[in-house]
Amino acid sequence: MSRFFATSFIIGAALVLAACGDKGKAPEPGASGSWTVNHPRGVHGLISCLEKNDIAMISAHRGGPGPGRPENSLAAFEATLGGAPAILEVDVAASRDGVLFLLHDDTLDRTTTGSGIAAEKNWDELASLYLKDADGRKTDERIPTLGEALAWAEGRTVFQLDIKRSARYEDVVETVKTAGAEDRVIYISYSIGQARKLSRLDRSAVLSVSVDTLQDYEEAIEAGLPPSRILAWTGNQRPRPYLFEKLEERDRPAIFGTLGPPSRSIDAQIARSGDYTRYAEIVSRGVDILATDVPLSAFKAIAGDAYEKEAAVCGLKRL
């Protein structure tokens, strides 16, 4: 990320938060017009454009849930795009009768009005349940199928798909292809083997590949993964500017996460300290995509006055 653009992020964040004191307060979520993430060359064009033009954006973990907006729900997706141009990271599971749907946990108890193991239920039973928000309150939201979610996102944003153990990669890729959504999804992989399998199933797929060191990246290339299809996941422990710089030299965008357990994540540290300018500082070190549990607050902290104009070149636009 260029020093000029990074500096503009920090200055913009400081101006936004200055009225709230030295460290600032959490920006209030709110939308003055819904955003779309829709590069004319799809997700390949998007991630290349971000890296080339030194533009950072947000990835909303589990879609960006909030009070009354459960994780992995259409309501969460609507609210997130209402306040930020974001990639939506979602979890894909499968029912006993083979229907793909969005749910993170193996069990139903925490996030739905049901109980038991989700993969042991048929879809008609899962479809009758309501989703609960993070405070355990029942909402009017139902569990979306993957097909419904892909249809909802067409022309609006990109999904990052975290495929759970109950779902077959073959079925997920086929559903994406049936929806005509190949150019608007990123597949998450946790090993080179998983990445290679996904690459074989969809030869145009963009793959999130774990890159803790530059050697990890080189091993991915040696394993036959096309460089142009790799999005480097660099973890969620601490930013590593040296690694970001080396990835930039190879024209590869880096994704870094501030998400994680509520007691230990960087998101939680920032919330406790009240220093929301830290998001801009992290981005300034060379992060192209920031994955977070609080997408609206993080976006407001990194988006300077020129962001909307600069980001439009990559298809990030407010309606």
Which is nearest to 259 in space by CA: 281, 233, 285? 233
Instruction: Check residue 2 and give its pLDDT.
Output: 43
Instruction: Check residue 263 and give its pLDDT.
Output: 85
Count CA atoms within 13 Å of residue 30 on its CB side.
4
Residue 180, CA distances (Å) to 30, 47, 130, 154, 173 in order: 31, 19, 28, 9, 11
Distance CA 79, CA 66 (A): 9
Q: Are 258 and 270 in contact (CB under 8 A)?
A: yes
Q: CA Rg, the chain, in Å?
A: 19
Q: Which of 34, 44, 96, 104 is catalytic?
A: 104
pLDDT under 70: residue ranges of the chain: 1-32
Instruction: Indicate if 104 belongs to the active site.
Output: yes
Instruction: Check residue 25 and give its pLDDT.
Output: 46
Task: Count other Cβ atoms within 10 Å, centred on residue 13.
Answer: 25
pTM for this one?
0.90
Q: Which of 42, 56, 61, 277 is catalytic?
A: 61
